[in-house]
C-alpha cells in the first residue's frame, strides 16, 4: 500500500523508508505523491500539529480521483493509500522543555541544523552535566485508507552534550547524547530501535 508521509524532509523520509518499507508500505513524500501543500503548524502540542498535517494531506489527496508522482507519469487509486504525519522535537529540562514544538525554528527562522545546535549549546554553556537532561519526542498521526485515525507518542531520554559529535543523523542528533555517543554517532540499526520515532512506530504497528 502507498503511504504518503506529510513531509518532504529527506532525512525523515529516509528513516520511514528503512522502518516501514520492510512491512510492505510504499513510502513516498508528499512531493513525490504530487501534493504541493504547506500546512500551518499552529497547534499547541506535538499531537495537535501531527493531526493537522495528516488530516490536511489526507483531505487534499482524497478530494482528487488519483494522485501522481513528481513527474506526472504514474497514478494510483486514491482509495488505496494511507497518510502519516509526525511532529517531533527536542525538550530540554533546563530550558523548561524548550525548544519543544518550536524545535525547527529554535533561534530564529532560516537557521540550518548546525546553527540551531550551536544556539542550543550556547544557551546551555553554564549548565552542568547532571542538569542537561533532555528527550526527543515524536507523535505520529496515521490515517488509514478508510479514514480511521490513530495517534501515538514516542520518547527517547538522553542529555545534551557539550559539543557536536558525529557526522550522521540530522537536526539535533549531534548534540543529543544517548549513553556515551550522540545520535549522530550511533548507527542507523541502533537508532531505528531506540529513537523516539522508533518507539512511536512500534506503538503504531501495535495499533494497526
Q: Which of 32, 72, 86, 87 is catalytic?
A: 87
Helix (H) or strand (E) holding 187: none
Distance separating alpha carbons of residues 46 and 33, to the nearest angstrom: 24
Helix locations, the chain, DSSP H: 10-20, 46-62, 113-123, 188-194, 196-207
Q: Which three cell numbers stand for residue 16?
A: 520511514
87 among known catalytic residues: yes
Dihedral of alpha carbons 179, 180, 182, 187, sign = negative
Give catalytic residue positions.
Answer: 87
Amino acid at each position: 500500500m502507498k503511504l504518503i508521509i506529510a513531509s518532504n524532509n529527506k532525512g525523515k523520509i529516509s528513516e520511514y523508508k528503512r522502518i516501514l518499507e520492510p512491512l510492505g508500505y510504499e513510502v513516498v513524500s508528499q512531493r513525490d505523491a504530487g501534493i504541493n501543500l504547506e500546512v500551518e503548524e499552529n497547534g499547541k502540542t506535538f499531537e495537535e500539529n501531527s493531526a493537522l498535517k495528516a488530516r490536511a494531506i489526507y483531505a487534499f489527496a482524497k478530494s482528487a480521483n488519483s494522485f501522481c508522482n513528481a513527474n506526472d507519469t504514474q497514478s494510483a487509486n486514491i482509495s488505496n493509500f494511507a497518510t502519516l504525519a509526525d511532529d517531533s522535537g527536542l525538550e530540554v529540562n533546563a530550558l523548561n522543555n524548550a525548544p519543544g514544538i518550536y524545535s525547527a525554528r529554535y533561534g530564529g527562522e532560516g537557521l540550518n541544523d548546525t546553527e540551531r545546535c550551536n544556539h542550543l549549546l550556547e544557551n546551555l554553556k553554564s549548565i552542568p552535566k547532571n542538569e542537561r537532561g533532555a528527550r526527543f519526542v515524536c507523535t505520529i498521526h496515521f490515517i488509514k485508507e478508510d479514514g480511521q485515525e490513530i495517534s501515538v507518542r514516542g520518547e527517547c531520554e538522553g542529555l545534551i552534550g557539550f559539543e557536536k559529535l558525529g557526522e550522521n543523523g540530522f537536526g539535533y542528533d549531534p548534540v543529543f547524547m544517548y549513553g556515551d555517543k550522540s545520535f549522530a554517532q550511533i548507527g542507523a540499526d541502533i537508532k531505528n530501535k531506540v529513537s523516539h520515532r522508533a518507539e512511536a512506530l512500534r506503538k503504531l504497528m501495535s495499533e494497526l
